[in-house]
Amino acid sequence: MGMLDRIEEMGHERVVVGQDARVGYRGVIAIHDTTLGPAVGGIRFMPYAHPDDALVDALRLSRAMTLKCALAGLAWGGGKSVILGDPRERNRIPILRAHGRLIESLSGLYVGAEDVGTSPEDLEHVRRETSHVAGVLDGTGDPAPATARGVLQAMRAAASRLWDGPALAGRRVAVQGCGSVGSHLVALLVEAGAEVLVTDVDRDRLRGIRERHPVEVVEPEEIYGVACHILAPCALGGVLHDGTIPRLQAEAVVGAANNQLAEDRHDLALKERDILYVPDFVANAGGVIDGHRLAAGWSEEQTAQRVAAIHDMTLAVLRLAEAEDSGTQAAAEVLALQRLRRE
Ligand code: NAI
Protein backbone atom coordinates (compact mmCIF):
# COMPACT_ATOMS: atom_id res chain seq x y z
CA MET A 1 0.00 0.00 0.00
CA GLY A 2 1.31 3.45 -0.90
CA MET A 3 1.83 6.05 1.79
CA LEU A 4 -1.04 8.30 0.72
CA ASP A 5 -3.43 5.32 0.79
CA ARG A 6 -2.14 4.40 4.21
CA ILE A 7 -2.71 7.93 5.51
CA GLU A 8 -6.25 7.82 4.13
CA GLU A 9 -6.92 4.40 5.65
CA MET A 10 -5.69 5.47 9.08
CA GLY A 11 -7.80 8.61 8.92
CA HIS A 12 -5.18 11.31 9.53
CA GLU A 13 -6.25 14.91 9.18
CA ARG A 14 -2.86 16.19 8.16
CA VAL A 15 0.70 14.98 7.71
CA VAL A 16 3.49 17.51 7.24
CA VAL A 17 7.03 16.81 6.10
CA GLY A 18 9.80 19.32 6.73
CA GLN A 19 13.38 19.51 5.60
CA ASP A 20 16.30 21.89 5.82
CA ALA A 21 19.32 20.60 3.94
CA ARG A 22 21.54 23.35 5.37
CA VAL A 23 21.41 21.80 8.85
CA GLY A 24 20.66 18.19 7.84
CA TYR A 25 17.09 18.22 9.17
CA ARG A 26 14.28 15.94 8.10
CA GLY A 27 11.11 15.67 10.13
CA VAL A 28 7.48 14.62 10.05
CA ILE A 29 4.44 15.80 12.01
CA ALA A 30 1.39 13.54 11.93
CA ILE A 31 -1.92 14.98 13.11
CA HIS A 32 -4.42 12.21 13.45
CA ASP A 33 -7.51 13.81 14.92
CA THR A 34 -8.32 17.17 16.50
CA THR A 35 -12.02 16.55 17.29
CA LEU A 36 -11.36 16.81 21.04
CA GLY A 37 -8.65 19.47 20.94
CA PRO A 38 -5.15 20.22 19.66
CA ALA A 39 -3.13 17.18 18.59
CA VAL A 40 -0.68 16.50 21.40
CA GLY A 41 2.21 14.05 21.17
CA GLY A 42 5.90 13.56 21.73
CA ILE A 43 8.78 14.58 19.49
CA ARG A 44 10.74 11.43 18.71
CA PHE A 45 14.36 11.82 17.58
CA MET A 46 15.86 8.61 16.27
CA PRO A 47 17.45 6.96 13.26
CA TYR A 48 15.24 4.81 11.02
CA ALA A 49 16.39 2.17 8.55
CA HIS A 50 14.15 3.75 5.90
CA PRO A 51 12.43 7.19 5.86
CA ASP A 52 9.06 5.48 5.32
CA ASP A 53 9.55 3.72 8.67
CA ALA A 54 9.66 7.15 10.34
CA LEU A 55 6.43 8.14 8.65
CA VAL A 56 4.72 4.89 9.64
CA ASP A 57 5.91 5.35 13.23
CA ALA A 58 4.46 8.87 13.34
CA LEU A 59 1.18 7.65 11.79
CA ARG A 60 0.74 4.78 14.25
CA LEU A 61 1.82 6.71 17.33
CA SER A 62 -0.41 9.70 16.54
CA ARG A 63 -3.44 7.46 16.04
CA ALA A 64 -2.74 5.79 19.38
CA MET A 65 -2.61 9.26 20.98
CA THR A 66 -6.09 10.02 19.64
CA LEU A 67 -7.42 6.81 21.17
CA LYS A 68 -5.55 7.38 24.44
CA CYS A 69 -6.81 10.94 24.93
CA ALA A 70 -10.36 10.00 23.95
CA LEU A 71 -10.53 7.09 26.41
CA ALA A 72 -8.96 9.15 29.18
CA GLY A 73 -11.58 11.88 28.69
CA LEU A 74 -9.06 14.61 27.79
CA ALA A 75 -9.66 17.66 25.61
CA TRP A 76 -6.73 16.76 23.38
CA GLY A 77 -6.40 15.08 20.02
CA GLY A 78 -3.71 12.75 18.73
CA GLY A 79 -0.44 13.82 17.16
CA LYS A 80 3.19 12.76 17.00
CA SER A 81 6.31 14.04 15.36
CA VAL A 82 9.56 12.47 14.35
CA ILE A 83 12.99 13.89 13.64
CA LEU A 84 14.99 11.47 11.49
CA GLY A 85 18.57 11.00 12.62
CA ASP A 86 20.85 10.13 15.46
CA PRO A 87 19.88 12.14 18.56
CA ARG A 88 23.58 12.32 19.49
CA GLU A 89 24.05 14.36 16.30
CA ARG A 90 26.50 17.22 16.92
CA ASN A 91 24.27 19.55 14.91
CA ARG A 92 21.28 18.79 17.10
CA ILE A 93 20.44 22.33 18.17
CA PRO A 94 19.80 23.72 14.64
CA ILE A 95 17.92 20.50 13.86
CA LEU A 96 15.67 20.93 16.91
CA ARG A 97 15.07 24.55 15.99
CA ALA A 98 14.17 23.58 12.42
CA HIS A 99 11.62 21.15 13.89
CA GLY A 100 10.32 23.97 16.06
CA ARG A 101 9.71 26.06 12.94
CA LEU A 102 7.75 23.20 11.37
CA ILE A 103 5.61 22.98 14.53
CA GLU A 104 5.10 26.76 14.48
CA SER A 105 3.85 26.59 10.89
CA LEU A 106 0.83 24.63 12.18
CA SER A 107 -0.29 27.48 14.48
CA GLY A 108 -1.07 25.32 17.50
CA LEU A 109 -2.80 22.43 15.74
CA TYR A 110 0.05 20.25 17.07
CA VAL A 111 1.70 20.54 20.51
CA GLY A 112 5.00 18.68 20.94
CA ALA A 113 6.39 17.07 24.09
CA GLU A 114 9.35 15.00 25.25
CA ASP A 115 9.71 11.52 23.79
CA VAL A 116 12.30 8.89 22.88
CA GLY A 117 15.52 10.73 21.98
CA THR A 118 14.45 14.19 23.23
CA SER A 119 15.21 15.64 26.65
CA PRO A 120 13.63 18.55 28.55
CA GLU A 121 16.63 20.67 27.49
CA ASP A 122 16.01 19.76 23.84
CA LEU A 123 12.46 21.03 24.15
CA GLU A 124 13.81 24.39 25.24
CA HIS A 125 15.61 24.65 21.87
CA VAL A 126 12.37 23.78 20.08
CA ARG A 127 10.62 26.39 22.21
CA ARG A 128 12.85 29.14 20.81
CA GLU A 129 10.92 28.74 17.56
CA THR A 130 7.44 27.91 18.83
CA SER A 131 5.36 28.17 21.97
CA HIS A 132 3.49 24.97 21.07
CA VAL A 133 5.57 22.72 23.30
CA ALA A 134 4.70 21.13 26.65
CA GLY A 135 7.45 19.84 28.83
CA VAL A 136 9.18 19.26 32.09
CA LEU A 137 10.65 22.75 32.36
CA ASP A 138 7.31 24.58 31.97
CA GLY A 139 5.90 23.04 35.13
CA THR A 140 4.16 20.13 33.46
CA GLY A 141 6.59 17.82 35.22
CA ASP A 142 7.88 14.31 34.59
CA PRO A 143 5.03 12.09 33.34
CA ALA A 144 6.75 8.81 34.25
CA PRO A 145 5.52 8.41 37.88
CA ALA A 146 1.88 8.93 36.79
CA THR A 147 2.37 6.57 33.85
CA ALA A 148 3.65 3.90 36.25
CA ARG A 149 0.71 4.43 38.62
CA GLY A 150 -1.69 4.02 35.70
CA VAL A 151 0.00 0.80 34.57
CA LEU A 152 -0.35 -0.54 38.11
CA GLN A 153 -4.09 0.23 38.03
CA ALA A 154 -4.42 -1.57 34.69
CA MET A 155 -2.61 -4.57 36.20
CA ARG A 156 -5.03 -4.61 39.15
CA ALA A 157 -7.98 -4.62 36.75
CA ALA A 158 -6.43 -7.47 34.75
CA ALA A 159 -5.84 -9.36 37.99
CA SER A 160 -9.54 -9.01 38.93
CA ARG A 161 -10.59 -10.52 35.61
CA LEU A 162 -8.08 -13.36 35.73
CA TRP A 163 -7.79 -14.27 39.37
CA ASP A 164 -9.68 -13.74 42.60
CA GLY A 165 -9.32 -9.99 42.98
CA PRO A 166 -7.12 -6.99 42.21
CA ALA A 167 -4.32 -7.83 44.64
CA LEU A 168 -0.87 -8.20 43.11
CA ALA A 169 0.74 -9.65 46.25
CA GLY A 170 2.55 -12.85 45.39
CA ARG A 171 2.05 -12.39 41.63
CA ARG A 172 5.14 -12.75 39.46
CA VAL A 173 5.55 -9.68 37.28
CA ALA A 174 8.30 -9.40 34.65
CA VAL A 175 9.27 -5.82 33.78
CA GLN A 176 11.06 -5.25 30.47
CA GLY A 177 12.96 -1.98 30.69
CA CYS A 178 13.87 -0.19 33.93
CA GLY A 179 13.98 3.36 32.61
CA SER A 180 11.83 6.27 33.74
CA VAL A 181 8.54 4.35 33.86
CA GLY A 182 9.92 0.86 34.52
CA SER A 183 11.88 1.93 37.61
CA HIS A 184 8.82 3.60 39.16
CA LEU A 185 6.70 0.59 38.29
CA VAL A 186 9.15 -1.79 39.96
CA ALA A 187 8.95 0.28 43.17
CA LEU A 188 5.13 0.20 43.11
CA LEU A 189 5.04 -3.53 42.43
CA VAL A 190 7.47 -4.32 45.24
CA GLU A 191 5.36 -2.15 47.55
CA ALA A 192 2.27 -4.10 46.45
CA GLY A 193 3.98 -7.36 47.44
CA ALA A 194 4.57 -8.68 43.92
CA GLU A 195 7.50 -10.91 43.05
CA VAL A 196 9.36 -8.81 40.47
CA LEU A 197 11.65 -9.93 37.66
CA VAL A 198 13.45 -7.29 35.61
CA THR A 199 15.55 -6.93 32.52
CA ASP A 200 17.27 -4.08 30.69
CA VAL A 201 20.00 -3.76 28.10
CA ASP A 202 21.60 -1.10 30.29
CA ARG A 203 23.62 -2.90 32.99
CA ASP A 204 24.02 0.24 35.11
CA ARG A 205 20.27 0.70 35.30
CA LEU A 206 19.87 -2.93 36.37
CA ARG A 207 22.50 -2.54 39.04
CA GLY A 208 20.71 0.54 40.41
CA ILE A 209 17.36 -1.27 40.55
CA ARG A 210 18.93 -4.27 42.22
CA GLU A 211 20.51 -2.13 44.88
CA ARG A 212 17.16 -0.56 45.73
CA HIS A 213 14.74 -3.48 45.38
CA PRO A 214 14.58 -7.25 45.93
CA VAL A 215 14.26 -8.20 42.26
CA GLU A 216 15.35 -11.15 40.12
CA VAL A 217 17.32 -10.19 36.99
CA VAL A 218 16.94 -12.02 33.68
CA GLU A 219 18.69 -11.53 30.33
CA PRO A 220 16.90 -9.23 27.83
CA GLU A 221 16.01 -12.04 25.40
CA GLU A 222 14.83 -14.37 28.18
CA ILE A 223 12.10 -12.04 29.39
CA TYR A 224 9.60 -13.28 26.79
CA GLY A 225 9.86 -16.88 27.96
CA VAL A 226 9.90 -16.43 31.74
CA ALA A 227 7.06 -18.03 33.66
CA CYS A 228 5.13 -15.16 35.22
CA HIS A 229 1.63 -13.87 35.80
CA ILE A 230 2.15 -10.52 34.06
CA LEU A 231 4.67 -9.35 31.48
CA ALA A 232 5.12 -5.57 31.52
CA PRO A 233 6.78 -4.19 28.36
CA CYS A 234 8.26 -0.84 29.41
CA ALA A 235 11.04 -0.46 26.84
CA LEU A 236 10.27 -0.52 23.13
CA GLY A 237 7.27 -0.80 20.86
CA GLY A 238 6.61 -3.71 18.49
CA VAL A 239 7.63 -6.37 21.04
CA LEU A 240 4.53 -8.56 20.58
CA HIS A 241 4.96 -10.34 17.26
CA ASP A 242 5.08 -13.76 15.57
CA GLY A 243 8.48 -14.47 17.12
CA THR A 244 7.63 -13.56 20.72
CA ILE A 245 3.92 -14.36 21.21
CA PRO A 246 4.39 -18.17 20.94
CA ARG A 247 7.12 -17.97 23.58
CA LEU A 248 5.13 -16.06 26.20
CA GLN A 249 4.54 -17.82 29.52
CA ALA A 250 2.62 -14.87 30.97
CA GLU A 251 -1.13 -14.87 31.64
CA ALA A 252 -1.39 -11.14 30.96
CA VAL A 253 0.57 -8.42 29.21
CA VAL A 254 0.24 -4.97 30.78
CA GLY A 255 2.91 -2.36 30.23
CA ALA A 256 3.79 1.21 29.34
CA ALA A 257 5.53 0.88 25.97
CA ASN A 258 3.68 2.48 23.07
CA ASN A 259 2.62 0.34 20.09
CA GLN A 260 3.40 -2.99 21.72
CA LEU A 261 1.60 -4.97 19.01
CA ALA A 262 3.86 -5.24 15.95
CA GLU A 263 0.70 -5.43 13.79
CA ASP A 264 -3.02 -5.16 14.57
CA ARG A 265 -3.51 -8.89 13.94
CA HIS A 266 -1.38 -9.68 17.00
CA ASP A 267 -4.34 -8.60 19.14
CA LEU A 268 -6.09 -11.82 18.09
CA ALA A 269 -2.87 -13.85 18.25
CA LEU A 270 -2.72 -13.04 21.98
CA LYS A 271 -6.40 -13.86 22.46
CA GLU A 272 -5.92 -17.23 20.75
CA ARG A 273 -3.17 -18.01 23.24
CA ASP A 274 -5.52 -16.98 26.07
CA ILE A 275 -3.21 -14.17 27.13
CA LEU A 276 -5.03 -11.13 28.44
CA TYR A 277 -3.58 -8.03 26.79
CA VAL A 278 -4.36 -4.59 28.20
CA PRO A 279 -3.93 -2.26 25.20
CA ASP A 280 -0.96 0.05 25.65
CA PHE A 281 -2.94 3.22 25.11
CA VAL A 282 -5.27 2.22 27.96
CA ALA A 283 -2.55 1.19 30.42
CA ASN A 284 -0.08 4.01 29.74
CA ALA A 285 -2.45 7.01 29.76
CA GLY A 286 -1.32 8.18 33.22
CA GLY A 287 1.44 10.39 31.78
CA VAL A 288 -0.79 12.25 29.35
CA ILE A 289 -3.50 12.60 32.02
CA ASP A 290 -0.89 14.18 34.28
CA GLY A 291 0.27 16.39 31.41
CA HIS A 292 -3.29 17.62 30.95
CA ARG A 293 -3.41 18.82 34.57
CA LEU A 294 -2.27 22.39 33.89
CA ALA A 295 -4.46 22.87 30.81
CA ALA A 296 -7.52 21.56 32.68
CA GLY A 297 -6.76 23.27 36.00
CA TRP A 298 -7.01 20.03 37.98
CA SER A 299 -5.66 19.75 41.51
CA GLU A 300 -3.15 17.03 42.40
CA GLU A 301 -6.01 15.03 43.92
CA GLN A 302 -8.25 15.36 40.86
CA THR A 303 -5.35 14.31 38.65
CA ALA A 304 -4.61 11.31 40.85
CA GLN A 305 -8.28 10.27 40.68
CA ARG A 306 -8.22 10.43 36.89
CA VAL A 307 -5.09 8.30 36.77
CA ALA A 308 -6.72 5.83 39.17
CA ALA A 309 -9.73 5.68 36.84
CA ILE A 310 -7.53 3.73 34.40
CA HIS A 311 -8.57 0.76 36.55
CA ASP A 312 -12.25 1.12 35.64
CA MET A 313 -11.51 1.96 32.01
CA THR A 314 -9.42 -1.22 31.74
CA LEU A 315 -12.30 -3.23 33.22
CA ALA A 316 -14.72 -1.68 30.70
CA VAL A 317 -12.41 -2.64 27.83
CA LEU A 318 -11.92 -6.19 29.09
CA ARG A 319 -15.67 -6.68 29.64
CA LEU A 320 -16.48 -5.44 26.14
CA ALA A 321 -13.86 -7.74 24.61
CA GLU A 322 -15.39 -10.68 26.50
CA ALA A 323 -18.94 -9.77 25.47
CA GLU A 324 -17.96 -9.33 21.81
CA ASP A 325 -15.48 -12.21 21.82
CA SER A 326 -13.01 -9.77 20.26
CA GLY A 327 -9.42 -8.78 20.88
CA THR A 328 -8.92 -6.27 23.67
CA GLN A 329 -7.27 -3.71 21.39
CA ALA A 330 -10.28 -3.87 19.07
CA ALA A 331 -12.61 -3.37 22.06
CA ALA A 332 -10.63 -0.37 23.31
CA GLU A 333 -10.78 1.22 19.87
CA VAL A 334 -14.57 0.80 19.81
CA LEU A 335 -14.89 2.61 23.16
CA ALA A 336 -12.52 5.40 22.10
CA LEU A 337 -14.29 5.94 18.77
CA GLN A 338 -17.65 6.09 20.59
CA ARG A 339 -16.36 9.06 22.59
CA LEU A 340 -15.00 10.77 19.48
CA ARG A 341 -18.32 10.40 17.67
CA ARG A 342 -20.25 11.83 20.64
CA GLU A 343 -18.32 15.13 20.29
P1 NAI B 1 13.27 5.20 29.02
O2 NAI B 1 14.08 5.46 27.81
O3 NAI B 1 13.50 6.00 30.26
O4 NAI B 1 13.41 3.66 29.44
C5 NAI B 1 13.46 2.60 28.55
C6 NAI B 1 14.35 1.52 29.13
O7 NAI B 1 14.28 0.37 28.31
C8 NAI B 1 15.83 1.93 29.20
O9 NAI B 1 16.34 1.66 30.49
C10 NAI B 1 16.48 1.06 28.13
O11 NAI B 1 17.82 0.72 28.43
C12 NAI B 1 15.58 -0.16 28.15
N13 NAI B 1 15.64 -0.98 26.95
C14 NAI B 1 15.78 -0.58 25.67
N15 NAI B 1 15.78 -1.64 24.85
C16 NAI B 1 15.60 -2.73 25.62
C17 NAI B 1 15.49 -4.11 25.36
N18 NAI B 1 15.57 -4.60 24.11
N19 NAI B 1 15.30 -4.96 26.40
C20 NAI B 1 15.24 -4.47 27.65
N21 NAI B 1 15.33 -3.18 27.96
C22 NAI B 1 15.50 -2.32 26.97
O23 NAI B 1 11.75 5.30 28.55
P24 NAI B 1 10.44 5.51 29.45
O25 NAI B 1 10.11 6.94 29.52
O26 NAI B 1 10.57 4.71 30.70
O27 NAI B 1 9.32 4.84 28.53
C28 NAI B 1 9.25 3.43 28.36
C29 NAI B 1 8.22 3.12 27.30
O30 NAI B 1 6.94 3.61 27.71
C31 NAI B 1 8.50 3.76 25.94
O32 NAI B 1 8.06 2.88 24.94
C33 NAI B 1 7.65 5.01 25.95
O34 NAI B 1 7.27 5.40 24.64
C35 NAI B 1 6.43 4.53 26.74
N36 NAI B 1 5.73 5.58 27.43
C37 NAI B 1 6.37 6.37 28.34
C38 NAI B 1 5.67 7.35 29.02
C39 NAI B 1 6.32 8.20 30.07
O40 NAI B 1 5.60 8.80 30.88
N41 NAI B 1 7.67 8.27 30.12
C42 NAI B 1 4.23 7.59 28.78
C43 NAI B 1 3.63 6.65 27.84
C44 NAI B 1 4.38 5.71 27.20
Q: What is the 3-state secondary structure (H, E, C) of 269-306?
A: HHHHCCCEECCHHHHCCHHHHHHCHHHHCCCHHHHHHH
Best residue among 44, 82, 140, 181 to mutate for probing ligand 1's pocket (most ligand atoms within 8 Å of CB) is 181
Closest CA to 319 of 265, 286, 278: 278
For the chain, the C-alpha Rg in angstroms (whole number) is 19
**Whole-number pLDDT of residue 136:** 57
Measured from the Cα of 285, ligand 1's closest atom is: 43
Q: Is 255 in the pocket of ligand 1 (CB under 6 A)?
A: no
The whole-angstrom separation of Cα 130 and Cα 132 is 5
Best residue among 74, 215, 234 to mutate for probing ligand 1's pocket (most ligand atoms within 8 Å of CB) is 234
Three-class SS of residue 58? helix
Q: Is 216 in the pocket of ligand 1 (CB under 6 A)?
A: no
- CB 112 within 8 Å of CB 83: no
Q: Is 231 in the pocket of ligand 1 (CB under 6 A)?
A: no
22 Cα–ligand 1 center, Å: 32
**Whole-number pLDDT of residue 138:** 63
164 Cα–ligand 1 center, Å: 31
- CB 291 within 8 Å of CB 134: yes
Measured from the Cα of 183, ligand 1's closest atom is: 26
Q: Is 179 in the pocket of ligand 1 (CB under 6 A)?
A: yes
Q: Is 70 in the pocket of ligand 1 (CB under 6 A)?
A: no
**Whole-number pLDDT of residue 141:** 74
**Whole-number pLDDT of residue 342:** 80
- Catalogue the active-site residues: 80
pLDDT in tens, the chain (343 residues): 888 999 999 999 999 999 999 999 999 999 999 999 999 999 999 999 999 999 999 999 999 999 999 999 999 999 999 999 998 888 999 999 999 999 999 999 999 998 889 988 999 999 999 999 986 556 667 889 999 999 999 999 999 999 989 999 999 999 999 999 999 999 999 999 999 999 999 999 999 999 999 999 999 999 999 999 999 999 989 999 999 999 999 999 999 999 999 999 999 999 999 999 999 999 999 999 998 988 888 999 999 999 999 999 999 999 999 999 999 999 999 999 999 988 6
Residue identifier of the C-alpha nearest atom 29 of ligand 1: 257
94 Cα–ligand 1 center, Å: 26
**Whole-number pLDDT of residue 212:** 97
